[in-house]
C-alpha cells in the first residue's frame, strides 16, 4: 500500500520547481493531485505528465480564486486531505532599495497567498476527517539576508502563521496539522532568476553552493520528500514544526 492511498492533495506553485516535483512524488505514492499555478501553459503540461492529475489556474493573492479552486478540487475528488502552499516569488533588494510596491507584491504572493490557502481549505479538510497543510517558507524565514528585506519578512511571516494555524486547529480538535518547510538554495526557476541576474552566472552559482556546508545546491526532489513525510500519516504527531532542509546553512 502506498503512503498516500486515498488522499487528495492540492499543490500551489505546481507548474515548476519544488511544486512540480512534489506533485509527481505525491502522485507516485498514491495521492490524487490537483496542481494550481498562475502559469497555465506550464501548469497544464505538468498535470498532463501525472496520471489522474488536474490543473486549475490560481492566483494565490485572489480570495475568489481560492474559493473556486477548492470547490473544484472537492467536486472532482470528493475530498481534500492535503494542501501544499508552494507558490512564491523572490526579490533581491535591501531595505533601502525595496519600493513599497515591490514590498506589497512579495507579501501578497508569499504571505497573503499562504494565509488564504490555509484559511480556505479548513472547511473541506474538516469534512474529509482531517488533513495536513505544508507551507513553503525558507531558511530566509529563520535567518536574515542583507539584500532580502521583503523576502525575509514574508517567509518569517509564513513561519509564524504556520504555528498559529497549527495551534488553532489542534485546540479546535480539527485533526488538521500545519507545518512549514525551510529550504536553502534549490535548483528552481526562482534560484535561476537570482543567478541569471548576476554578470557572472557560473561564479554566482558557485557562490551559492559555497554558502552551503554540504557544498551544493539542493534538487527539488529532496525538498519534495520532506513534504511527502508531512502530508503522510507518518508525521501524525507533527504539527507547528519548522522542518529545515538547508545542507547545514543554519547550523553555522
What is the chain's pLDDT, residue by residue, as a tens digit (252 residues)? 799 999 999 999 999 999 999 999 999 999 999 999 999 999 999 999 999 999 999 999 999 999 999 999 999 999 999 999 999 999 999 999 999 999 999 999 999 999 999 999 999 999 999 999 999 999 999 999 999 999 999 999 999 999 999 999 999 999 999 999 999 999 988 888 877 778 888 888 888 899 999 999 999 999 999 999 999 999 999 999 999 999 999 999
With contact defined as beta carbons under 8 Å apart, do 190 and 197 qualify? no
Range of the domain at 200: 187-217
Residues 124 and 166 in one domain: yes
Query: What CATH number should be reported for the domain holding residue 136?
Result: 3.40.50.720
Residues 111 and 205 in one domain: no
Please give the DSSP secondary-structure letter assigned to residue 90: -
Residues 109 and 179 in one domain: yes
Q: Which helix (H) or strand (E) holds 127?
A: helix 113-127
Residues 81 and 178 in one domain: yes
pLDDT at residue 19, as a whole number: 98
Residue 25 in domain: yes
Residues 106 and 197 in one domain: no
Please give the DSSP secondary-structure letter assigned to residue 112: I
Residues 195 and 230 in one domain: no
DSSP, collapsed to helix, strand or coil, labels residue 131 as strand
pLDDT at residue 198, as a whole number: 80
pLDDT at residue 242, as a whole number: 98
Please give the DSSP secondary-structure letter assigned to residue 26: H
Per the rule left: phi > 0, alpha: psi between -120 and 50, beta: everything else, 132 is: beta
**Active-site residues: which are they?**
151
CA–CA distance, 230 with 224 (Å, rounded to integer) = 10
Residue 247 in domain: no
Query: How many domains does the structure of the chain reveal?
Result: 2
Neighbours of 126 (CB within 10 A): 17
Please give the DSSP secondary-structure letter assigned to residue 217: P
CA-nearest of 37, 157, 140 to 93 is 140
Residue 144 in domain: yes
Enter the C-alpha cell of residue 91. 526579490
Residues 212 and 229 in one domain: no
CA-nearest of 22, 19, 26 to 58 is 19
Please give the DSSP secondary-structure letter assigned to residue 111: I
Amino acid at each position: 500500500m502506498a503512503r498516500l492511498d486515498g488522499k487528495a492533495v492540492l499543490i500551489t506553485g505546481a507548474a515548476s520547481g519544488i511544486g512540480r516535483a512534489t506533485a509527481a512524488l505525491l502522485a507516485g505514492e498514491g495521492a490524487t493531485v490537483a496542481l494550481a499555478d498562475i502559469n497555465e501553459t506550464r501548469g497544464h503540461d505538468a498535470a498532463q505528465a501525472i496520471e489522474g492529475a488536474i490543473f486549475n489556474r490560481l492566483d494565490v493573492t485572489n480570495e475568489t480564486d481560492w474559493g473556486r479552486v477548492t470547490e473544484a478540487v472537492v467536486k472532482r475528488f470528493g475530498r481534500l486531505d492535503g494542501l501544499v502552499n508552494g507558490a512564491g516569488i523572490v526579490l533581491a533588494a535591501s531595505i533601502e532599495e525595496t519600493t513599497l510596491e515591490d514590498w506589497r507584491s512579495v507579501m501578497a504572493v508569499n504571505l497573503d497567498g499562504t494565509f488564504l490557502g490555509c484559511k480556505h481549505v479548513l472547511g473541506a479538510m474538516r469534512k474529509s476527517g482531517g488533513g495536513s497543510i505544508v507551507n513553503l517558507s525558507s531558511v530566509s524565514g529563520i535567518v536574515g539576508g542583507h539584500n532580502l528585506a521583503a523576502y525575509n519578512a514574508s517567509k518569517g511571516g509564513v513561519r509564524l502563521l504556520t504555528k498559529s494555524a497549527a495551534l488553532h486547529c489542534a485546540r479546535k480538535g480539527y485533526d488538521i496539522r500545519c507545518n512549514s518547510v525551510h529550504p536553502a538554495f534549490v535548483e528552481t526557476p526562482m534560484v535561476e532568476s537570482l543567478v541569471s541576474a548576476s554578470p557572472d552566472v557560473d561564479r554566482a552559482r558557485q557562490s551559492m553552493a559555497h554558502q552551503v556546508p554540504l557544498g551544493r545546491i539542493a534538487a527539488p526532489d529532496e525538498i519534495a520528500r520532506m513534504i511527502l513525510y508531512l502530508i503522510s500519516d507518518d508525521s501524525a504527531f507533527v504539527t507547528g514544526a519548522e522542518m529545515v532542509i538547508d545542507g547545514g546553512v543554519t547550523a553555522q
